[in-house]
Amino acid sequence: MSSMMVGRSTLRVGILKPRIIRFNHFKYSTSSENVKKEDMKKSPEQAKKEAAELAMQSIKDLGGLFSSSSSDDATQPIDTKPIFQNPKLFGSLSLLHQGQVLKDLQAKFDLKWTKLTLEDKKLGYYIYFGDWGVREDFKNWKTNEPPYDLPFHIPSKVKTTKPTSTTKINKIDPPVILSETPVRIKQFDFKRVDGVSKFFIYLTIFISMFAIYRDKNYGEEFKPTEVVIEDEYETQRQARQEQLERELLNKKLEEEKKLARKWYYLWFK
């Protein structure tokens, strides 16, 4: 005869001495208290750093769902120090690593301005005004010349240098159009589409035209027929119900006809 008891239980096979299992709850509570105390001692910078590492790990885990290799360098955090030393490397980074650099730079900008180094300021200036991304052709970003995409016509037509409350404000003549600047014409030329986009556009147009042609010429022929299932017993039941309703209606009309007597019947009576 064998039996098992849970808790401070005894596993018996025949007769054995009871074995008491004790759980020490104080160790867990004290360790959790120590963790809380350590969290309280952390500085805001350490907390931000740990949050960034946790975010990167989450992105890495998410990327691992779609990638067969677990050691994908594209989702690994990088050392941002070379980027601060050479800002031109920023444009060649992936979107994920650019976000990591921006996060580190923003953490420094959140502090006092006097704590920023010259490298930090140069990287921030390059990110916003450098020749990368859509500003790849802006090669004069280091000079004191106006940007290539400055849309204002020089010299400007100034109406008055001393405006008053009665001075009318008119539209700029000629109008300022950003896409007409020489460096932006290529970017705003929507007629020039890459080959892959053209292929899918033409494929969509072809499928749409074929579907319209098929609907107009073969739509009724290939139209699926509706299958109607008739219940013989239900049809008979409805017919009996209609017959009963007609009989009741005829009976009611006959009774009303009998009761509808003229006034002279009463006089004869």
Q: What is the mean pLDDT of residues 15-31?
A: 43
List, in sequence order, every residue forming a beta bridge with 11; answer none if it has no partner: 4
Q: How many other CB atoms are found less than 10 A from the CB of residue 48?
A: 16
Q: What is the mean pLDDT of residues 52-73?
A: 64
Which pLDDT score, from 0 to 100, does residue 265 have?
Answer: 60
Which pLDDT score, from 0 to 100, does residue 11 have?
Answer: 39
Contact partners, residue 123, CB within 8 Å, separation at least 6 = 83, 84, 87, 90, 101, 105
Highest-pLDDT range among 71-80, 226-235, 256-265: 226-235
Taking only the tens place, the pLDDT of each residue in 120-178 is 999 999 998 888 888 888 888 888 887 787 777 777 777 788 888 888 888 877 777 77
Rounded-to-integer distance, Cα 62 and Cα 74, Å? 12
Backbone torsions φ then ψ of 61, nearest 5 degrees: -65, -40
pLDDT at 40 over 70: no
Burial status of residue 52 (CB atoms within 10 A of its CB: 0-12, 13-18, 19 or more):
middle
> Between these two residues, 39 and 230, which has the higher pLDDT value?
230
> Between these two residues, 203 and 55, which has the higher pLDDT value?
203
Taking only the tens place, the pLDDT of each residue in 86-118 is 999 998 898 899 999 999 999 999 998 889 999
Which pLDDT score, from 0 to 100, does residue 107 have?
Answer: 92
Q: How many helices (H) and strands (E) does the chain have?
A: 8, 2
Determine contact, residues 53/77, Cβ cutoff 8 Å.
Answer: yes
> Between these two residues, 2 and 60, which has the higher pLDDT value?
60
Nearest CA-CA partner of 7 in 27, 28, 22: 22
Taking only the tens place, the pLDDT of each residue in 45-61 is 777 777 777 777 777 66
Taking only the tens place, the pLDDT of each residue in 221-249 is 666 677 788 888 898 999 999 999 999 99
Which pLDDT score, from 0 to 100, does residue 177 have?
Answer: 78
> Between these two residues, 257 and 250, which has the higher pLDDT value?
250
Percent of the chain with pLDDT over 90: 22
Which pLDDT score, from 0 to 100, does residue 8 have?
Answer: 39
pTM of the predicted protein model: 0.42
Tokens of 33: 């208290």
Which pLDDT score, from 0 to 100, does residue 144 have?
Answer: 83
- End-to-end CA gap in the chain: 105
Least confident of 11-25, 71-85, 103-117, 180-194: 11-25
Parse the chain into domains and list their residue ranges.
35-162
Determine contact, residues 94/59, Cβ cutoff 8 Å.
Answer: no
Sign of CA dihedral 52, 54, 60, 66: negative
Which pLDDT score, from 0 to 100, does residue 122 have?
Answer: 93
Which pLDDT score, from 0 to 100, does residue 72 have?
Answer: 62
